[in-house]
């Protein structure tokens, strides 16, 4: 689908959608628990639906009505081989591999898009050295069999925090105690903290021992009767950055300012750019003012890079974004696609090995860009349109459905005009 933004977002108010990252974790924990529960999640998406499909394939009964998932847990032991369709969701695959292994279930994992190409090492090696047999990664489908065994798991901290989160979800189910040894700096640590927070709500005990994680076995997950998924700072960041570029302020409601979500850091980043940020209760308002370039370490918040780059493109001076090398293994090579997208709109952007260097201009020109099948590229282009003097056409605009199916509707609610090209 090709959409042309004939008038960019002008300002107003929009409610943050439910956190995709938290929804994955809550649904998996609920499906592994000892009793039924309700997960309040105002919106769903392709990625969340992928996790629901996989849990249902393992025997959970999950229904969604009026913004609430009702979850009847997986009955154990799981009998017979199962097929799990992960779609293009990296979180789903990296969480469900160890969880399925902990259940001792033979399984076929189906992947689409760029997901088969995204790395699984060293999670793959750790699973196969602890009782599982798996076909070689890099292809779909991937076959797994065997029973995951307790023990010591060694994971470097600079590849994917999802490996650690997946193990944290799985290891409490095993008969013995386990230790996750994390080598080097743990990047995207807030996502691991989110996993631990959700598991704590289900009564799971995990001890942080000098950066490693000690996980007792034979734990029972006890589901709260109702669990509410809070607003998503990752997707709210697009609207907050739009506020820094739009004629009028943009307010995002339904945001927990005490959240442990790492992408809450968008507020401090925007303040450093020079935008005016006002927080009142669960409402955040961002207003435009004179912007200037910054240096930004993306180690803990790589998902913010595409939209912060759009802000940097019209911030006076130079912005350097670094420690973002992992963006090359997302739905697209995001360092490359961010650079190509903004350059096509008239920005001055250069890639580095692990980031971007952006020399700000007073405004961007507009033009045709490709979403490259990446939801965050499509949404960042829409935000960049707020700084363009001519329309912006986004080819592949449907990619937003991966995390935010209602994005274009909300864009229009903020004053934007969007037309589908034939």
Catalytic choice (85, 232, 263, 303): 303
Max intra-chain CA distance, the chain = 62
The length of the chain, given as a count of residues: 422
Task: Give the number of other Cβ atoms within 10 Å of residue 281's Cβ.
Answer: 8
Tell me the C-alpha distance between 219 and 224, whole Å: 16
Tell me if residue 303 is catalytic: yes
**Nearest of 207, 172, 193, 206 to residue 99 by alpha carbon:** 172
Backbone angles phi, psi at 92, to 5 degrees: -60, -50
CA distances from 272 to 13, 78, 291, 312 (A): 23, 51, 9, 11
**Nearest of 155, 152, 41 to residue 94 by alpha carbon:** 155
Burial letters 169-203, b for 16+ CB under 10 A, else e = bbbbbbeeebbbebeeebbbbbbbbbbbebbebbb
**Nearest of 303, 64, 268 to residue 162 by alpha carbon:** 303
Which is it for strands 392-395 and 2-7: parallel, antiparallel or unpaired? antiparallel
Tell me the C-alpha distance between 51 and 89, whole Å: 8
Active site residues: 303
């Amino acid at each position: 689908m090709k959409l042309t933004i004939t008038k960019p977002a002008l300002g107003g108010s929009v409610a943050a959608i439910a956190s995709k990252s938290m929804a994955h974790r809550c649904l998996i924990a609920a499906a592994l628990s000892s009793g039924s529960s309700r997960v309040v999640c105002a919106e769903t998406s392709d990625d969340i639906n992928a996790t629901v499909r996989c849990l249902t394939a393992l025997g959970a009964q999950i229904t969604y009505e009026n913004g609430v998932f009702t979850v009847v847990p997986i009955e154990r032991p799981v009998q017979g081989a199962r097929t799990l369709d992960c779609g293009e969701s990296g979180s789903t695959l990296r969480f469900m591999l160890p969880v399925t292994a902990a259940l001792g279930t033979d399984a076929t994992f189906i992947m689409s898009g760029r997901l088969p190409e995204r790395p699984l090492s060293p999670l793959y090696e750790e699973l196969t050295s602890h009782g599982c047999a798996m076909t070689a990664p890099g292809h779909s489908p991937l076959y797994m069999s065997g029973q995951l065994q307790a023990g010591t798991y060694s994971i470097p901290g600079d590849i994917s925090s999802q490996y650690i989160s997946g193990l944290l979800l799985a290891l409490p189910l095993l008969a013995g105690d386990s230790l996750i040894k994390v080598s080097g700096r743990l990047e995207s640590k807030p996502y691991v903290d989110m996993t631990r927070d959700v598991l704590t709500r289900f009564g799971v005990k995990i001890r942080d021992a000098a950066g490693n994680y000690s996980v007792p076995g034979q734990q029972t997950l006890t589901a709260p009767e109702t669990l509410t998924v809070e607003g998503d700072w990752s997707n709210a960041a697009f609207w907050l950055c739009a506020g820094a570029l739009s004629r009028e302020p943009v307010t995002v409601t339904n945001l927990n300012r005490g959240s442990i979500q790492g992408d809450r850091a968008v507020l401090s980043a925007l303040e450093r750019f020079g935008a005016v940020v006002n927080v009142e209760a669960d409402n955040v308002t961002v207003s435009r003012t004179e912007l200037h370039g910054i240096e930004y370490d993306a180690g803990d918040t790589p998902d913010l890079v595409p939209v912060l780059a759009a802000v940097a493109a019209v911030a006076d001076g130079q912005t350097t974004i670094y420690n973002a090398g992992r963006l090359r293994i997302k739905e697209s090579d995001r360092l490359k696609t961010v650079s190509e997208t903004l350059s096509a709109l008239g920005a001055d952007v250069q890639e580095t090995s692990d980031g971007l260097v952006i020399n700000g201009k007073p405004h961007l020109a507009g033009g045709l860009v490709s979403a490259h099948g990446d939801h965050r590229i499509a949404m960042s282009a829409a935000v960049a349109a707020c700084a363009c003097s001519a329309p912006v056409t986004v080819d592949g605009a449907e990619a937003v459905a991966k995390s935010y199916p209602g994005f274009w509707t909300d864009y229009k609610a903020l004053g934007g005009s969007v037309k589908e090209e034939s």
